[in-house]
């Protein structure tokens, strides 16, 4: 399966000039744990970073800093891992595992944002795959019973 078939397409975005408090409000409003930071050359949303709720807690709240006075660009993760909507699910899982990353923006062939895939999305997919695999045994037994009667 390809990542583009399973990613979340309703991705919440902001620019690096957004305040950290504004980004946190976006997360609260949309019930998400991250915002993808984008630039918009030629009208396309191109991901340049990501900001997670954990980034805000560790880099701002824990240090007693004012989230209204900091910009997203000051604390966002800019060593961004992205994947193509045509990438294979299992290759993406391996890349996420190697980098220790739970969320990956998904881009099209032009590098424009088309969605985001999370470890939770991938766990759901793998759980379905395991469920299908578990049904092989009983199905095989019923086929065998029919063939012998």
pLDDT digits (tens, 9 = 90+) for 100-149: 999 999 999 999 999 999 999 999 888 887 888 888 776 566 666 777 76
Q: Are 12 and 36 in contact (CB under 8 A)?
A: yes
Domain residue spans of the chain: 3-119
Mean pLDDT of the chain: 92
| Whole-number Å distance between alpha carbons of 117 and 92 | 9
Out of 3.10.450.50, 3.10.580.10, 3.90.1720.10, 3.40.50.720, the CATH code matching 3-119 is: 3.10.580.10
| Whole-number Å distance between alpha carbons of 27 and 12 | 8
pLDDT score recorded for residue 9: 92
């Amino acid at each position: 399966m390809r990542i583009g078939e399973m990613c979340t397409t309703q991705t919440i975005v902001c620019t690096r000039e957004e305040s950290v408090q504004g980004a946190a409000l976006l997360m609260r409003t949309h019930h998400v744990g991250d915002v993808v930071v984008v630039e918009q050359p030629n009208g396309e949303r191109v991901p340049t970073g990501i900001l997670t709720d954990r980034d805000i807690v560790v880099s701002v709240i824990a240090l007693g800093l004012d989230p209204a006075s900091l910009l997203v660009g000051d604390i966002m993760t800019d060593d961004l891992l992205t994947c193509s909507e045509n990438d294979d699910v299992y290759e993406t899982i391996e890349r996420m595992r190697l980098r220790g990353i739970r969320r990956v923006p998904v881009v099209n062939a032009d590098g424009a944002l088309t969605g985001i895939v999370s470890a939770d999305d991938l766990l759901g997919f793998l759980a379905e795959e395991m469920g299908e695999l578990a049904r092989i045994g009983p199905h095989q037994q019923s086929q065998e019973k029919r063939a012998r009667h």
